[in-house]
Structure formats: C-alpha cells, structure tokens
Chains A and B, each alone.
Chain A
Amino acid sequence: MRMTVDDQQLAAAAANGDAEAFSALLGRHYDRVFGLAFRMTGQRAEAEDLTQDICAALPDKMAHYQPSARFSTWLYRVVVNAAHDRRRRAATHTKAASGWGDWEVDRQAAIADTNSQLDWLTRAMQALPDDLRDTLALILDDVTHADAAEILGISPGTVSWRVSEAKKHLRALKEQEDAS
C-alpha cells in the first residue's frame, strides 16, 4: 500500500520518476509546506503564491533529492530557500510595481485575515527581522534546533542564539504592551 510507505521511500521513488509516488508525497506534505510558507511570510496571499512557486519547481528539485537526507528536513530547506528567493525577487519588483497593484490584492486577502486571525502573534512575527522569523517559524513547527540548523545552513549554536533573540524581541514587545 502506498500510504504506509514512508517518506524516504516515496521520495526516492519520486526522484526516480515515479509520478504516483510524487503525488502521494506532495499530498501528504502540502499543508505543512503551506503552513511554513505562511509563517515565513506572515501573509496568506503571499503564502499561497510561495507555495505555488515551490510546487512549480519541486519536480526539478526532486530529481536531485539524496536519499541520505531526511525528507522533511530536505523539504523544509526547499521552502526556506524558495522564501528567500522570493524575498529577493520581491525586492527587485517593489519599485516596478510601486506596490500599489499588489496592495489591493493583498488587502482583500488580509481583510479575511484580520477578521479571523491577524492576532498579536502574527503581527509580532511580522515585526521580527527575517532571519529570526525564519528560525522561529521552524522551531514553532516542532523542528529541532539541530534540524533547523541543517535546514537554514547555519550552526546549531546560531539557531539557539536566534531563538533566544526572537524570544527577547517578543518579550520586549509584550512588556511594552503590558506597561501601557
């Protein structure tokens, strides 16, 4: 049975061109990919677009998958890299678009967000610098510090430092609110 096969086996099969394995794998992980994309971007519409980027390029990436890597770690790395890529590209586009066109699109999506879940945490996350937010997004997804280090391509020490730094940021924000 397909669904009882573990991720690694599926991934290895997909890397060898097994379309069924690829579909099964993607179906299994789509929501996690989207979840992480959302945490890293802080915006639903952005997260949808980012997930689309990832889906479009995943077949190519899949071909280079090494069975030695844990699939979830590998996939997270794909997401993180795609998010960085997208941020970089957004940088070049900001001016071309002047942002206006996007704002309307984003506005619609975010009105929906505001009603339901644009809560303290989401805004606090948005206030974090990119590197801290990326790290925290992974840690809050129950990724271990060691895995996060591998995904982000930094040392485990740096992960721990960033997490404590992110906590410090959040705590400071919270204290400011409590104080006033």
Chain B
Amino acid sequence: MSDPFDDLDDLKDAMRAATPAPDAARKAENIALAEKNFATRQETAAQVRFTSDRPKQGFFRGVFSMFKAISTRQALTASTALVAIGLFVYLPALQQPADVLTPPHPEPTIVDSIAGTLEADSRVRVQAEGEAEEMLVAPMEAPVMAEVADMAAPTGQLSGAAPSPSLLARPAATAKLERRSLIAPPPPPGYADDTQVRIEPDTEAFAEAEPNPLKITTEEPVSTFSIDVDTASYAILRSSLNNGQLPNAEQVRIEEMVNYFPYDYATPSDGAPFSTRATVIATPWNPETRLVHIALQGEKPALDERPPLNLVFLIDTSGSMDAPNKLPLLKQSFQLMLAQLRPEDKVAIVAYAGSAGQVLEPTQASERATIMAALDRLDAGGSTAGQEGLQQAYSTAEAMSEDGDVSRIILATDGDFNVGIYDPDELKDFIAKKRETGTYLSVLGFGRGNLDDATMQALAQNGNGQAAYIDTLSEAQKTLVDQLGGALFPIANDVKIQVEFNPAQIAEYRLIGYETRALKREDFNNDRIDAGEIGAGHAVTAIYEVTPVGSPARLSDPLRYQPAEVAATSEEYGFLRLRYKRPGEDTSNLIETPILPGGEATPDMQFATAIAGFGQLLQNSPYLGDWSYTQAIDLANGAKGDDAFGYRSQAVQLMRLADSLSQ
C-alpha cells in the first residue's frame, strides 16, 4: 500500500477539507473589533494586550460540581453512575484531548508501551465502560479518556481506510493505567510508588534560564551569585524520569540537583555559622580544565536549644488538589512533621480555595489531636485564591510571633495562584515586603501536571525560604523530618558568593548552575539586596569549570590588540568572598578565602561533580565532549560513600534511566 505521508499531498487535501470556514458573524465582529482598535490606536497609540479569556460560566457547571461533590465521597449509586457516564461520554471530548493525551514531550517508547498493553480493542472498550464508574472517583482527570474510547468510529478520509477503534481505544488503556493512581483509597505510607505510569494534562510552568555561558577572565573576572538551597528541580526531574520522560532543559537546575544530597563537609570551627572551602579538583569530562568546588556547611545547633517555632500551614485546597498524591500526601507529610515539633511550638492552618479561611487557630504543638483533626477536615474544592490566603497567613504569623521566635509559613500547593495577583512580579513585591517582618516562607510543591515551578521559585526566593517538591512520602520524610532543622531554622541570611578569578592563571571560567540566582557585581556589597538563606545543617555546593591559561581546552582565542598575557602576580586561581547576615541582623559579615590549585577530591566532591555532569547531560550541554551517562554513572558509583538513606543509589538509578531514555 502506498504511504500517504510521504509527500503530504493527501494530507494537505484532507486538511483543507477539514478546516471549517470561519463563522460569518464572528468574522464580522472580529474585523469590526480590529478596525475599532485600529482607530483607537491612531488616537492614543496606547498598547493593547491580548484579551483574556475568562472562564465561561456554562449551564452545566452546577451539575458537575454536584457530581463531583458526590463522587469524591465515593457515594454514587449505580444508577447515578450510569447517568454520569452518559454525561462524561459526551462532554469532555471537546476539551482538547490533545493536551490530555499527549505527554509534554512524548517519547515514542511511551506510546509504544501504552499501545503494547492493549488487547483486542473491543475488550478494552468494554473494560473502559465497565470502569467508568470507578473512574468517577476522580472525574477531573479521567473522563476524556472514557469518552474517546466510546466514540463511534467515523469514516476516514485517508486512503479510504476506516479508522479502526484501536486509535480510539488507546486512551482507554491510558485511563486504565491512570486508574491505579486515581482510585487509590487514602494512600498507605509509601503508596506513591515512583514507578507509576502517570500521564496528566500538563499546564506546568518553569523558570526559563539559559545555562551560564563561558566567561573570559580578562573581560569579566568577577562572578557573583546568591546561594540556593532549593531541591525542587531534582525531585521534579526524578518524577519525569520515572514516568519515562526525559525532563525538559528548563526543568533542570543543576544547583538544585547538587544541593539535594546531604554532604559531609567539614563543620565550622571558627565561630562562623558555616564553614567555607574552595578546592580545585580535576574535571571528569575534560582533562585540560579544572573544577573549583566551593562548599559551605552550615553548623548544626543542638536542637534542644532552638527557639520556639511558629508555623502557619498555608494549604491549597482547590479542586485540583483532589488527587492521592496531593492533598492526602500533604496531610500525611504534615503529620510526619508534627511528630518532630516540640510542645512549645505553635501551629496554625490557613486554607485557601475560593475564599481563604483560618482552619485552625494558633495551637500548641502538644495538642496533636486537635491539629490532626483540623488537617483531616480539609477537603479539596473550589478555585485558588492564593494571594488572599497568603495575606491571611502572614497576618496570622505576625500575630503569633513573640520575641525570639522563628515564624515560618509553609505553603503547600500543586500549582498556580490564579486568582488575585496574576503578575508574578507583583506577587514577588508583595512577598518581598512581607519578608521585612521577619517571617520566612517555604514552598512545598505537590503533584505534577499543573506545577507552576516558576512561581514557586519566585515565592521561595523572595520570601526567604526554600522550595521543595514532594512526590512521595519518602521525599516528605527527607524534607520535613530528616532535614527539618535546615528547613525550619535559618542560621544565615542573604548569603552571597563572589569569586574573582586571576587572569594570570585562569583564561576562562563557567559557573555550573545558579542561572536563576545571578547577582550583579555591585550587589555583593549592598546589604539591601536579597539573597539565599542557609538553614541549620544545610550543605551548599557551587562548582565552576575553569580553563587554566595555556590549556589546550581554551575555547576563545587570545586577542590580537590587547596584551595576551597578564603578568603573573600570584599562584592563586582566584579569590572567594562570601557575605552573610546572621538572622535578625541587618549588616553583613565577610568571609574571604583564596582559591589555590592542587586540591584532592573527596568522595563527596566527586559525587557532587557526577551530579553536576548528570545535569549538564540532561541539558545537552556542549561543554561535556564525549563524556556520557556511562562515565557519570561510574563516577557516582565510585563516590557513593555511606549513603545511609540511599539517596545516592537512587541518583545512579535515575542516571541509568536517563541513559536508556536518551538512546
């Protein structure tokens, strides 16, 4: 049979036939609108933006809210279910199945594997219908799939072949896979198995930042950035990889990957809140360059001496949180954390959905039953009024705080703040203003599909806090139990790093990661410029790749009209300056260390390097040459150390997965 796709001519004809004529009335309206705007513009020359498409209120809306309310309580009778199937069978199809059915960057392997699970298509269809009732448990996510399966086979235009239902039935198979996660009853610990195949409509947003370019030392000898203790990027790419997709380049933030892992760097001894080391080690991917490994290790104050804590849980209870890996996981995570609190700590809960409300008055942590009961009462429903919730949380925190307390808002959400402040910049300003009150803000992300990573980042960075992404109960354990001290008790604020490279020794340098954290050179000494925080026990790693003068790996040619060589005045590769403020203080302290060549790499450093290499592989970085996943895996395997919690073994697994997926 001839291949209809070779020259696309058939396709073009089919497409022409398929494209409807524009609606005449709309056309007239639209043209009139354009002409009106054109005329207005000539008068005012003002900027017009694309109009916003406000959600339309349909007649059926109320009916669906009702079904949803009932179904989430799993109280549907069989007859109601039948009616509901009828409705689902029709309506959802029209909601852009494409978005629902295709993962953001589907790999052919995924499609194949899903198709591979198909049996005779008629059976699948029967199954899909039979399962429709169960699928109602989470009608928000699944109905499209049931509907597509049920669509009558229309006539095809291509090569005269009627499409068989297999194409249609495929989504039903997806629905089947999906079902496992959707219908799960209140999840048992560890339920959120990383190996689940989950394909969800994707409305995620990530901060866009190009990887740092190579800098030439003679032109730009100084590099300045803020430290970052977020870990969200690693957890996000882990969930992508476990779903069989390579993460997008913008989901990869190398500093967050590297800083995800606990390291055992030397603890401070000189009275500073953290220790600072800069070590020059070999570059695994390039024998002609060196890495400058900068390590900060926060002190671990004895937890008994910590000040009392005021926590405000700000919990997103919008409709989309109604999935097992969102609100239920969130409740469990907070329960884990409650066990870590001391009796004199205080907890309040503010929920936001539609309208914000205080769910729990400030309560002593010793009254665990009261707090648990309030958590349990939370129910997902309504849309998100993020800003209102935030305002209420800040005022609650301010009311709770007494002298010497640490107040922190923990915002738990699955995505966007789409009612209230739209503009991320405005939201940032709001939070930056609130930061002055001394309240910290941490952001915990739950669930995939709607994650507004960019906003999460902006919130945590501007609110003096940390952004973490929680996809499993074990991740909650890591963030909220094992590293609770770091998550809740800041030991240094506004930590900035500035490295001045010595042009006599270093020809070129490149900061690996920290793209979203770059600062201007003059910001370093300006104490009013915000930067990252270090929590108790946090380890922070930053890595530069540097090309020594005279190395064959140098990428830029020396200039012809400027002195080629800078007279060597020192053996130092560069000079590291670091500024930080102690919590509650307004003036910064300075730490200075020279960067000297000839260091020895410890296993911790090697592992950090392997992760930095892994991140660059995921970004398709041009600087790695032939270095591949295989070498990254070897390097990481050789540097696993004790790995008491298995985080590093898990990273090696992810590297292997990424290796296979990228083939």
Contacts and interface: CB of A to CB of B under 8 A. Distances in A.
A89 interface: yes
A174 B58 contact: no
B31 A27 contact: yes
Contacts of B568: none
Given A92-B418, A113-B20, A59 B167 contact: no
Contacts of B383: 95-98
Contact of A91 (B49, B167, B205): B205
Interface centre among B20, B65, B383 (most CB of A within 10 A): B20
B35 A93 contact: no
Interface string B41-81: 11001011111111111111100110000000000000000
Chain A interface extent, by class: 35 or more
A110 B93 contact: yes
A103 B91 contact: yes
Given A119-B18, A129-B106, A42 B96 contact: yes
A100 B56 CA distance: 9
B190 to A, nearest CB: 28
Classify the secondary structure of A's interface with B. helix
Given A100-B58, A104-B58, A121-B157, A30 B22 contact: yes
Nearest to A35: B19
Interface in A59-98: 59-60, 62-63, 82, 85-86, 88-98
Contacts of B426: none
Contacts of A57: 37, 48-50
A101 B55 contact: yes
Contacts of B243: none
A123 B151 CA distance: 12
A63 B47 CA distance: 10
Given A19-B38, A58-B34, A129-B106, A104 B91 contact: yes
Nearest to B155: A119
B51 A116 contact: no
B37 A92 contact: no
B653 interface: no
A146 interface: no
A127 B102 contact: yes
B15 A171 contact: no
A6 B373 CA distance: 72
A171 B157 CA distance: 14
Contact of B319 (A27, A98, A109): A98
A172 interface: yes
A101 B57 contact: yes
A75 B371 CA distance: 58
A95 B384 contact: yes
A4 interface: no
Given A52-B51, A91-B205, A93-B53, A171 B18 contact: no
A121 B47 contact: no
Contacts of A123: 97, 167
Contact of B163 (A30, A44, A120): A120
A107 B91 CA distance: 6
Contacts of A105: 56, 58
A99 B88 CA distance: 13
Interface in A16-64: 17, 19, 22-23, 26-27, 30-31, 34-35, 38-39, 41-44, 46-49, 51-53, 55-60, 62-63
Interface stretch (B2-10, B267-275, B479-487, B606-614): B2-10
Contacts of A38: 19-20
A101 B61 contact: yes
Interface string B415-433: 1101100100000000000
Contact of A44 (B20, B57, B61): B20
Contact of B158 (A53, A58, A163, A174): A174
A95 B416 contact: yes
A1 to B, nearest CB: 21
A85 to B, nearest CB: 6
A98 B140 contact: yes
A73 to B, nearest CB: 19
A70 to B, nearest CB: 21
Given A22-B38, A51-B22, A173 B11 contact: no
A49 B140 contact: no
Interface residues of B, number: 96
Contact of B94 (A43, A48, A117): A43
Given A22-B35, A92-B418, A55 B30 contact: yes
Interface string B379-404: 00001100000000000000000000
Contacts of B39: 19
A150 B15 CA distance: 22
B50 A120 contact: no
Nearest to B67: A100
A26 B31 CA distance: 7
A83 to B, nearest CB: 11
Contact of B42 (A17, A34, A92, A121): A17
A39 B15 contact: yes
A23 B35 contact: yes
B49 to A, nearest CB: 7
Contacts of A82: 50
A81 to B, nearest CB: 10
A99 B60 CA distance: 11
B585 interface: no
B156 A120 contact: yes
A158 to B, nearest CB: 14
Nearest to A137: B15
B320 interface: yes
Interface string B77-116: 0000000000000111111111001101110100100010
A19 B35 contact: yes
A8 interface: no
A53 B51 CA distance: 6
Interface centre among A31, A101, A109 (most CB of B within 10 A): A101
Nearest to A82: B50
Given A19-B35, A34-B22, A63 B41 contact: yes
Contacts of B250: none
A89 B53 contact: yes
A140 B15 contact: yes
Given A27-B31, A56-B50, A102-B56, A139 B8 contact: yes
Contact of A109 (B54, B94, B203, B204): B94
10 contacts: A19-B38, A22-B34, A22-B38, A31-B22, A95-B203, A99-B140, A119-B156, A121-B18, A126-B97, A180-B121
Given A31-B22, A120-B14, 14 more contacts: A17-B42, A95-B418, A100-B64, A104-B59, A109-B94, A123-B97, A125-B98, A127-B167, A142-B12, A167-B6, A176-B167, A177-B161, A180-B165, A180-B166
Interface of B: 1, 3-6, 8, 11-12, 14-15, 17-23, 26-27, 29-31, 33-35, 37-42, 45, 47-61, 64-65, 90-98, 101-102, 104-106, 108, 111, 115, 121, 140, 154-158, 161, 163-167, 170, 201, 203-205, 318-320, 383-384, 415-416, 418-419, 422, 450, 452
Interface of A: 14, 17, 19, 22-23, 26-27, 30-31, 34-35, 38-39, 41-44, 46-49, 51-53, 55-60, 62-63, 82, 85-86, 88-107, 109-110, 113-114, 116-130, 133, 139-140, 142, 163, 167-168, 170-174, 176-180
Q: Which 10 A-B pairs have the closest CB atoms?
A: A97-B55, A91-B203, A104-B58, A106-B94, A126-B98, A59-B38, A55-B34, A34-B22, A101-B58, A180-B166
